[in-house]
Amino acid sequence: MEKNLKERVKSGLFSYGLMLGYADPLIVEMAAYAGFDFIRIDCEHEMIDISAVKNMVMTANHLNLPVIVRLSTLDDITRLLDFGVSGVMVPSVNGKEQAIEAVNLVKYGPIGARGMSGSARYLKYGETKLNPEEANERTLLVIQIETKEALNNINEILSVDGIDMVATGRGDLSQSLGYIGQPTHPKVIEAEDYVITQTLKYGKIPNLLANTPERVSELKQKGVYCYSIGRDTAIIYKALKNHISLYK
């Protein structure tokens, strides 16, 4: 139903995503027309309920725009995947057991144990035959490494088969490492660079937040091809503030 983001990145194409905190399909539509390569709906930090996600996912599907949903719990993974999301992002994965739990919900056997439904929306209500191998390859599991504990366990975590992409969370990393509120502290950047190195070592794809073109350039030199380059609410607020400043 949508372009394959993993194939795009693996083929060497740089991919730029928009984080969504505003629950409106119009933002999804704008992102697609503007040229973003994927979107990430944030259900961890934003007040976005499942009914709003439904409409946003439908819009993304019809526009061939890959859509990842970041969750605060694992409860909704099965129905989100069956409905047609490209993948899910699981925050604060601190150990191997958490990684295995996420894989079991996202991937079909023999990799995981995702529940099967032959009439799911992503299968066009049964028009398309379920192909577990193809679904496992297409469906993205993105995990976030954002604590000192996760850094200490990173090799065990990344050894788990079924993880496709790895993100960080520099805000939470700064807190966990003792540099609270300093996401650009050299030690936090050093930790993020370590995550990148280990992610590539295990053959997985880094998917990182990069707020400036300069940071994107730095990450490109480190072998990163997939970025989230802004949040809709922040972009809209900045645009509004700049616009009113022309008149006041």
Q: Is the dihedral of CA 187, 179, 209, 49 positive or negative?
A: positive
Q: Residue 145: how many CB atoms within 10 A of its CB?
A: 27
Give the residue numbers marked as catalytic.
Answer: 45
Global pTM value: 0.95
Helix (H, G, I), strand (E, B) or coil at 25: helix
E strand or H helix at 230, and its extent? strand 226-231
Domain 5-245 has CATH 3.20.20.60: yes
The tens-digit pLDDT sequence of the chain (248 residues) is: 457 899 999 899 999 999 999 999 999 999 999 999 999 999 999 989 888 999 999 999 999 999 999 998 999 999 999 999 999 999 999 999 999 999 999 999 999 999 999 999 999 999 999 999 999 999 999 999 999 999 999 999 999 999 999 999 999 999 999 999 999 999 999 999 999 999 999 999 999 999 899 999 999 999 999 999 999 999 999 999 999 999 99
Residue 31 in contact with residue 242, Cβ under 8 Å? no
Q: How far is Cα 48 from Cα 80, in angstroms, rounded to an integer?
A: 14
Residue 90 in contact with residue 142, Cβ under 8 Å? yes
